[in-house]
Structure 1
């Protein structure tokens, strides 16, 4: 049976990933208002930041920079795109929807990474099979759920543009 963790960096990465999955899921599931949302949201951002940073210390898969490092860069860009509207309150007319949309995508990307991490350990699957399967398993149902949740996040649903 293969090892789950091969280094200290890998252990930190795994713990940060699990924490981020739990916090990200909770932030999406719980009400989007108040101190608890902010605290859990910033804990998610911090946990994901640690996970993304430590990913660059893990080279076992490709013996160097690989496709998962590219995914970490894209995930960091999604996270930043979700937080910039909160920090700047711009664009003024839809910063809140941008925040929710990109943060939702950030959590979805984390689940895609989880499924990919599991599938990459299955013998005989190549990268494109892993990428396709993990994306299909997470992104398709995630897009359907997003279209339903998005209606709740719009100002017409009672969520005013205010400080989150």
Structure 2
């Protein structure tokens, strides 16, 4: 299923990002553990996005890898405000990073569907799994945001 070294590296970054992103979402925010694991997540996501662009340059680009640009925008939308400590940085960081992780899990379904499914049901299964993941993510993010921001 993995056809190249860059594909293997891409997969390793994806799995690590899913693990660390999930842990960061579940842990207490703002402590040292959150920061360390959060930076590991960011590095994994940068590697994941970088390898997605590299796959494009080697001719393996698909529609799904176009979402690497969206992923990178969410990641930067969460990190730039916190690094600059700009006004409203916490809210921007909260929403962007949460959606970055949700997007990663949606991408998991798309990639899994690409690898395992073929034929007429592929698009429906991928769309429903990704939509369902995004909806669950939205509910959880909004619930947590209501507690934090009122």
Query: Same fold per TM (> 0.5)?
Result: yes
Alpha-carbon shift at residue 152 of structure 1 (Å): 3.0
| Structure-1 residue corresponding to 2:69 | 73
Q: What RMSD over aligned residues (CA atoms) do the two structures have, in Å?
A: 2.0
1:147 corresponds to which residue?
Answer: 142
Give runs of aligned pairs for residues 1-164 of structure 1, distance below 5 A: 3=1, 5-59=2-56, 63-90=59-86, 92=87, 94-121=88-115, 122-125=117-120, 128-129=123-124, 131-154=126-149
SS of 1:57 mapped into structure 2: helix
Residue 153 (structure 1) shift: 2.8
1:83-142 alpha-carbon deviations (Å, 9 max, x no partner):
11101111x2x2101101000000000000001111123011477435522331211111
- Distance in structure 2 (CA, Å) of the matches to 1:125 and 1:34: 47
Change (3 A) 1:105 1:28: same
Larger Rg: 1
Equivalents in 2 of 1:146, 1:106: separation in Å? 11
Unaligned runs of 5+ in 1: 157-164
- Where structure 2 has 5 or more consecutive residues not aligned to the other structure, the ranges are none
Choose between structure 1 and 2: higher helix proportion: 2
Count of paired positions: 148
* Structure-2-length-normalised TM-score: 0.89
Determine the C-alpha separation between the residues in 2 that align with 1:36 and 1:86.
16
Question: Displacement, 1:65?
Answer: 3.7
